[in-house]
Structure 1
Amino acid sequence: MLKVIFYLKAGKVSKKGESPIFARISYHQQSITMSTGKTILKERWQFTKNLRTVLKLEKEKVLKHSLELFLLNIEKKFNELAKESSDISLVQLKNEFNGKTSIQTKGVSIVEIMQKHNAYFEKKVNAEERSKASFQKYERSKELLVNFMKQQYQIEDLLSNEISSAFIYNLESFLKYESNFKGKVGIKNNSVVKYMRMYKTACNYSIRMGLIDKNPFAFYDGKINIKDAVFLTQQELNRIENKKFSAERLERVKDTFLFSCYTGYAPVDASNLTSNNIFQDNNNALWIMTNRTKTAIRANVPILPPTLRIINKYKDLQIGLIPKISNQKMNAYLKEIADLCGIDKHLTWYVARHTFATTVTLGNGVRIENVSSMMGHTNIKQTQHYAKVLDVNVMEDMTKLKEKYM
């Protein structure tokens, strides 16, 4: 529902001592301000309770009528736009109301592009095709973009066809060195690149919807710094698997961690698995079948003996295949497990996924194409990163070569 509130603009006073009256317009998560072009003494505004009491001065009666007319015209323009699209941009409303060239005829604004894409993405989340965490990142990327434009250009929005290369690289610089979130200044390179790719993805969506002709972020070429994935060696994996913990919470965390080590599922996917995800093929082999929440890509994994032991251990004790535990608690307890097992590595739930890709599969000769499929990767390049860190495979191949020269 559209909401309009009139207020006095603080700090601005005319020669007559009058302050300008502004309108704050809100709709869903959007909010903009507009000048009404009218002024009034601050004392009279307060005395008449924002012109809501019975007015005696003719000037104030006329002023109140003008604000009512302003409100009526705003609502009329809003209803006109609502007939064209349910996804209304207040920036577009403001431009239409002020008689400026319609954004729809000149182009679409970058904030409107983000709003339309995110509204579409939210539908996918509600249909359980994508994760809520990914949606929150897109919403965060929109907030960062708006903050950048306000701080760097003193504007709230910009037409997509007016975005220059300077704008894009100034945005990248702002994200890296000046953005502020929860008291922390600046964002690390890999996260910045991911945000920039989100803007590119949103613009690609607008191209598909026929809203814009070209992607202003198409030439952005920021690179993610690839770091060696942390994973467990077979000896370290055995050490955790053979360790018996007196604390039940650590035993549950161990089993949950090992489940991901032998299936490769990310935390959000592992937590959502139930008995409905288990299938038996024509050869009586058991599979876990599901779609990755992050990408909606199919990720089917055969059930290995260690996985089956964990599933049977917790069968009928909860809805899911494994105990429910928050990512935060999981990682905190894994640090404790690492200390007790004498493992000098920073263990997180994602280390289990990396261990599946390296030690459990690639390290045992599983073809990289099959590993990529089981992990739900969108392309094999993602999987090749894990293959690069397996020195044991390099040594095995070189050993065979050495034998030829002996």
Structure 2
Amino acid sequence: MLEKTFSLLMYLKKPKFHKQNDPYQIYFRITIEGLFVDVSAKRTWSPERWNNRAGRAYGTKEDAKLLNLYLDTLTNKVHEARRILIDADLDITPQAIRNVLLGVDDKRYILQEFAAHNEQIMALVPKEYSKGTLDLFERTLLHTQRFIEWKYKAKDLELRKLDYDFIDQFSFWLKTERKCQHNSTIKYLTYFKKIVLLCVKRKLIKQDPFAEFSLARREQDRPFLTEIELAKIAEKEFPSERLSVVRDIFLFSCYTGLAYADVQKLKRSEIVIGFDGEKWIHTNRQKTDRQSRILLLPFPCKILKKYKDHPICLHKGTVLPIMSNQKMNAYLKEIVDTCGINKNLTFHVARHTFATTITLSQGVSIESVSKMLGHKNLKQTQHYAKILDIKVSEDMRALKQKMDVTMPVRRKAISKDSGDQNSDDKYQS
């Protein structure tokens, strides 16, 4: 879409340190839609010999003719620069025309904008963003860089070349070359979209290339442990202390719903006595910085007591001697193998287990579970909340018993109503 108004004005400008009888500098002003930019014509001229209305020099002297010829050439170059921008389907702005005239490369590039964004995120860690969020942006930037090298054989790509095909091919590359699952692909594209939308808002690109692209995730079964499996792990005697420690920390998370990062940073000062005289966890989730309030059950209280004098806990002021997430997950695989549990166990399974086996299947309301998990809304909690078959069975058994009690009464009432109806029919006949 072309600009509605365009004008070019040649004028004289008095120098900052002007002396009497010195000439003025010649400038030209490019104005589009009320926005303008002033550019030096790199010439000077006497104001007594200047026609303000025409924007040219007065007279027929040779120096005036040469100046006017130069200004006419300059005017033609301005219009030529405008035509170049139109043909390239770029935004027509005074600054853009100026850059074409001066040979300034004002092109904006995808990776350049992405890297600048990540630097700002880094400066706001941990005040507004978590380290995990920064890591995801950095990982997405790396994937974007490798995709551009693979697809376009280039180190970077102009923002204006971002279109639906770019997004579609990026998705294809993530699934084929990087072997990402569908939901992982959508996660990276979602983070990339945040950069794209910032560019749209700043008018660096005209349209959102994601407009017609679906970022829908696929529903996945979230693994969790049953009561029997929890008991197996809790009662198992392990040959090494490291497995016992990992088991205890994992079970603590199963009974509190805390994610790895939140267990890792949990301090003794965050274990408080609540309004009811019971022990509570009062903490803020590292991922979202939202409050999480959890009543401690007897089992996790025993675990806390077990490690209250542990050297690592005393040194760091934390409640549990937790190791790296990578090591925790590696040792958890040993634990399930030793216990004969055929499930891919990671630390995050503890959070799912809390939402299903420990709380929802025991009749705890989804609203309470959502608050303890530190979620913004119930929709987030529903991703964790899998209603167990045993819970459905218990609910339906209760309904069956209720119906067994009430149904005979209803049958009598129906029979009575049927008898009365027959009597009325007989009387009417």
TM-score by length of 1: 0.67
Q: What residue in structure 2 maps to residue 163 of structure 1? A: 162
Equivalent positions of 1:1-400 (< 5 A) are 99-100=103-104, 102-103=106-107, 108-127=108-127, 129-179=128-178, 186-205=179-198, 215-317=208-310, 318=313, 319=316, 320-400=318-398
Amino acid of the residue matched to residue 106 of structure 2? S
Deviation at 1:364, TM superposition (A): 1.1
Amino acid of the residue matched to residue 118 of structure 1? N
Q: Find the aligned partners of 1:290 and 1:216 in 2 and give their Cα distance.
A: 40
Q: Is the 8 A contact 1:199 1:217 kept in 2?
A: no
RMSD of the alignment, in Å? Answer: 2.7
Task: Judge which range, 274-283 or 364-373, deviates more.
Answer: 274-283
SS in structure 1 at match of 2:133:
helix
Structure 1 unaligned runs (5+)? Answer: 1-94, 180-185
Task: Judge which range, 221-230 or 309-318, deviates more.
Answer: 221-230
Amino acid of the residue matched to residue 119 of structure 2? A
Q: Find the aligned partners of 1:393 and 1:150 in 2 and give their Cα distance.
A: 52
CA offsets, 1:279-316, max 9 Å, x none?
Answer: 33333232222222223333222222111111111114
Shift of the 299–200 alpha-carbon distance from structure 1 to 2, 3 Å rule, reads farther
Shift of the 214–242 alpha-carbon distance from structure 1 to 2, 3 Å rule, reads same
Q: What residue in structure 1 maps to residue 4 of structure 2? A: none
Deviation at 1:144, TM superposition (A): 1.5
Q: Is the 8 A contact 1:243 1:341 kept in 2?
A: yes
Amino acid of the residue matched to residue 274 of structure 2? D
Amino acid of the residue matched to residue 134 of structure 1? T
Asked which structure has the greater CA Rg, the reply is 2
Q: Find the aligned partners of 1:287 and 1:120 in 2 and give their Cα distance.
A: 36
Q: How many residues align?
A: 301
Deviation at 1:239, TM superposition (A): 2.1
CA offsets, 1:182-239, max 9 Å, x none?
Answer: xxxx322221110000012233455677866764335431332322111111121122
CA offsets, 1:49-78, max 9 Å, x none?
Answer: xxxxxxxxxxxxxxxxxxxxxxxxxxxxxx
Q: Find the aligned partners of 2:204 and 2:276 in 1 and give their Cα distance.
A: 50
Q: Is the 8 A contact 1:200 1:218 kept in 2?
A: no
Q: Find the aligned partners of 2:389 and 2:113 in 1 and give their Cα distance.
A: 46
Deviation at 1:269, TM superposition (A): 1.6
CA offsets, 1:15-39, max 9 Å, x none?
Answer: xxxxxxxxxxxxxxxxxxxxxxxxx
Deviation at 1:157, TM superposition (A): 3.3
TM-score by length of 2: 0.63
Amino acid of the residue matched to residue 258 of structure 1? L
Amino acid of the residue matched to residue 295 of structure 1? T
Task: Judge which range, 359-368 or 387-396, deviates more.
Answer: 387-396
Q: Find the aligned partners of 2:171 and 2:129 in 1 and give their Cα distance.
A: 26
Deviation at 1:399, TM superposition (A): 1.6
Q: Find the aligned partners of 2:263 and 2:101 in 1 and give their Cα distance.
A: 51
Q: Find the aligned partners of 2:292 and 2:117 in 1 and give their Cα distance.
A: 26
Shift of the 299–120 alpha-carbon distance from structure 1 to 2, 3 Å rule, reads farther
Amino acid of the residue matched to residue 112 of structure 1? Q
Q: Is the 8 A contact 2:352 2:385 kept in 1?
A: no
Q: Find the aligned partners of 1:228 and 1:290 in 2 and give their Cα distance.
A: 28
Shift of the 277–209 alpha-carbon distance from structure 1 to 2, 3 Å rule, reads farther
Q: Find the aligned partners of 2:135 and 2:102 in 1 and give their Cα distance.
A: 33
SS in structure 2 at match of 1:203:
helix
Q: Find the aligned partners of 1:312 and 1:97 in 2 and give their Cα distance.
A: 74
SS in structure 1 at match of 2:284:
coil
Shift of the 372–204 alpha-carbon distance from structure 1 to 2, 3 Å rule, reads farther
Amino acid of the residue matched to residue 261 of structure 1? C
SS in structure 1 at match of 2:272:
strand
Q: Find the aligned partners of 1:96 and 1:315 in 2 and give their Cα distance.
A: 69
Amino acid of the residue matched to residue 170 of structure 1? Q
Percent of residue pairs bearing the same amino acid type: 43
Deviation at 1:156, TM superposition (A): 3.5
Q: Find the aligned partners of 2:155 and 2:336 in 1 and give their Cα distance.
A: 49
SS in structure 2 at match of 1:289:
strand
Q: Is the 8 A contact 1:117 1:206 kept in 2?
A: no
Deviation at 1:257, TM superposition (A): 0.7
Q: What residue in structure 1 maps to residue 35 of structure 2? A: none
Q: Find the aligned partners of 2:198 and 2:360 in 1 and give their Cα distance.
A: 36
Q: Is the 8 A contact 2:370 2:377 kept in 1?
A: yes
Q: Is the 8 A contact 2:197 2:208 kept in 1?
A: yes
CA offsets, 1:66-102, max 9 Å, x none?
Answer: xxxxxxxxxxxxxxxxxxxxxxxxxxxxx99992452
Amino acid of the residue matched to residue 142 of structure 1? L
Q: Which has the higher contact order (CA 8 A, sep 6+)?
A: 1
Amino acid of the residue matched to residue 240 of structure 1? I
Q: Find the aligned partners of 2:389 and 2:102 in 1 and give their Cα distance.
A: 66
CA offsets, 1:249-279, max 9 Å, x none?
Answer: 1221111011100111111221111112223
SS in structure 2 at match of 1:245:
coil
Q: Find the aligned partners of 1:97 and 1:355 in 2 and give their Cα distance.
A: 65
Structure 2 unaligned runs (5+)? Answer: 1-98, 405-429
Shift of the 284–341 alpha-carbon distance from structure 1 to 2, 3 Å rule, reads same
